[in-house]
Amino acid sequence: MNLRAAAAIAVVVVASLGGATAFAQTAGDRRLVDRLVTRWERSWNTYDLREVDSVFWSDRSVTYFSSERAGLIRGIDALREHHAGFGFVAGGKAVRTRLWLTDTTTRWHSGVATVLATWHFRREDGTTQSGPVTLVISPRGRGFRITHAHFANAPPVAPPPPPR
């Protein structure tokens, strides 16, 4: 191979690697993902079914493991139905429950964000439930959408022994 051919190959390789920068995480990407997670939390705190379409990948490829039912939920229609089962309605409604996240960490791999956190849910009667959650968030258009969510319940904590 001559020097000119090697240089041409090097240009093609460098140019193709340059395309990979389109998948690089930027400060703007981090802000968009943070806002998406905030909107997802808000959807749970307002029971707004329309937000399901705005925060999740809105086609048959979205997947969701719920902490409240067995099996994989596949597709946006099934995901909407799942949320409607909790009482979500288009436009939302006043609720006395609250969902929030703690211990949130976001990891990036080839332009895809994986959000790891502990979710907490306070019911109307004041009792709480919590567990780990993983949100896989992929680029979509000029923003990001959740492509997969996986919830689990934390094991119940044993009460302390009774006083003697």
Give the global pTM: 0.80
Class of domain 25-151: alpha beta
pLDDT-derived band at 152, boundaries 50, 70, 90: very high
Question: Quick check: 37 and 104 in contact, CB under 8 A?
Answer: yes
Average pLDDT, the chain: 85
**75-111, pLDDT tens digit by residue?**
999 999 999 999 999 999 999 999 999 999 999 999 9
Residue extents of the structural domains in the chain: 25-151
Q: Which of 115, 134, 146 is nearest to 53 (CA)?
A: 146
User: Which DSSP category does 43 fall into?
Assistant: H
